[in-house]
Amino acid sequence: MDQYRVFGNPIAQSKSPFIHQSFAAQSQCLLNYQSELVELGQFEKAVNNLIANNGKGANVTAPFKEQAFAMCDELSEKAKLAGAVNTLIFTQGIIYGDTTDGIGLVSDLLRHQVILQDSHILLLGAGGAAKGVVQALLDKAPKSLTIANRTLSKAEAIAEQYPNKPIKAVTFSDTEHSQFDIIINATSAGLSGDSLPISNNTIENANTCYDMVYGKKPTAFLQQARLLGVEHVIDGLGMLVGQAAASFQLWTDINPEVEPILKSLREQLV
């Protein structure tokens, strides 16, 4: 049977095996998808071992996305710009790398009927999570994409990768002076219990607040957005399933149905 893995460290928390096994069952596709804990320094060995054992593809999560990028023989344009990959395809002796996080985010926004074209988007954060979605957001022709980050230089470095696009880098305090339709949190601030330095006024003027983080309870950012009456308040669970669906399609050519999996994952959240 064709073998697939998700490699990471830690990995026990990963929902990818459940998602991909569900996609496979749904489309009557015979494949085996498991999670694999990889020791630091052992990533290449794990990939080569999978290839030698009927491996057809893999997902890659923290902290190996950059190592996976470095190991690829061929890369998609999106992966080149992101400098990281979350999806590997093993075909004809070649390792091909792609990143589906951006497609996952965009497909989830569209599923919620959020209009991206001609919108003003504010992306909070300039780490790996933010970098991975910029190209996919720009592909939807927003009027502007503003990246705000605590460390301005990191946001500037991303913006410089897209010289002919309506993209700019700012500090958090600069966001006070502009209005945004869509605010996307791609920082890890909430995970460490810190709140985001974004004013109520900026949040309240948006029609959509999206947090890439998800959990049983809404994040502090999403709670704030709800209290302020923002129309679309969305967590990152749909992005997770969306990126998985895009990976699954790259491997099998089948576009799986996202809704039922999302529903059961939501019920399983603790």
Query: Which residue among 65, 78, 131, 140 is the active-site one?
Result: 65
Question: Does residue 126 touch ligand ATR according to CB under 6 A?
Answer: yes
CB closer to ligand ATR, 91 vs 151: 151
Minimum Å gap between C-beta 37 and ligand ATR is 19
The verdict on 189 binding ligand ATR (CB under 6 A) reads yes
> How far apart (Å, rounded) are the C-alpha atoms in residues 11 and 202?
36
H-helix segments, the chain: 16-26, 43-52, 65-71, 77-82, 101-111, 128-131, 134-138, 152-159, 200-204, 220-227, 237-252, 259-268
Taking the complex as a whole, the smallest distance from the CB of residue 63 to ligand ATR amounts, in Å, to 9
User: Does residue 127 bind ligand ATR (CB under 6 A)?
Assistant: yes
Question: Which tokens belong to 58?
Answer: 């893999």
* 150 binds ligand ATR, rule: CB under 6 A: yes
Other CB atoms within 10 A of residue 155 CB: 24
* Residue 165 interacting with ligand ATR (CB under 6 A): no
Based on the shown chain and the rule CB under 6 A, indicate whether residue 249 belongs to the binding site for ligand ATR.
no
Cβ-in-10-Å burial (0-12, 13-18, 19+) of 79 comes to: buried
Among 16, 76, 119, 149, binds ligand ATR (CB under 6 A): 149
Q: Return the number of the residue (114 or 198) whose C-beta is nearest ligand ATR.
A: 198
Is 143 one of the annotated active-site residues of the chain?
no
Pairing of strands 74-75, 31-37: unpaired
Among 194, 223, 260, 268, binds ligand ATR (CB under 6 A): 194
Closest CA to 88 of 107, 108, 65, 122: 65
Interaction between residue 264 and ligand ATR (CB under 6 A): no
**Peptide bond before residue 197 is cis, with ω within 30 degrees of 0:** no
Which of 22, 61, 119, 187 is close enough to bind ligand ATR by CB under 6 A?
Answer: 187
Question: Nearest-CA neighbor of 248 among 10, 17, 76, 23?
Answer: 23
- Please tell me the distance from the alpha carbon of residue 133 to that of residue 262, in angstroms, as a whole number: 20
Nearer to ligand ATR, 200 or 255 (CB): 200
CA distance 123 to 133: 9
Are 101 and 135 in contact by the 8 Å Cβ rule? The answer is no
Minimum CB separation from ligand ATR for residue 150, in Å? 3
Shortest separation between residue 29's beta carbon and ligand ATR, angstroms: 30
Secondary structure of 14-32 in HEC code, one letter for each residue? CCHHHHHHHHHHHCCCCEE
Nearer to ligand ATR, 169 or 241 (CB): 169
Span interacting with ligand ATR, options 70-78, 110-118, 123-131, 246-254, rule CB under 6 A: 123-131
Catalytic residue ranges: 65
Residues that bind ligand ATR (CB under 6 A): 125-130, 149-151, 154, 187-189, 192, 194
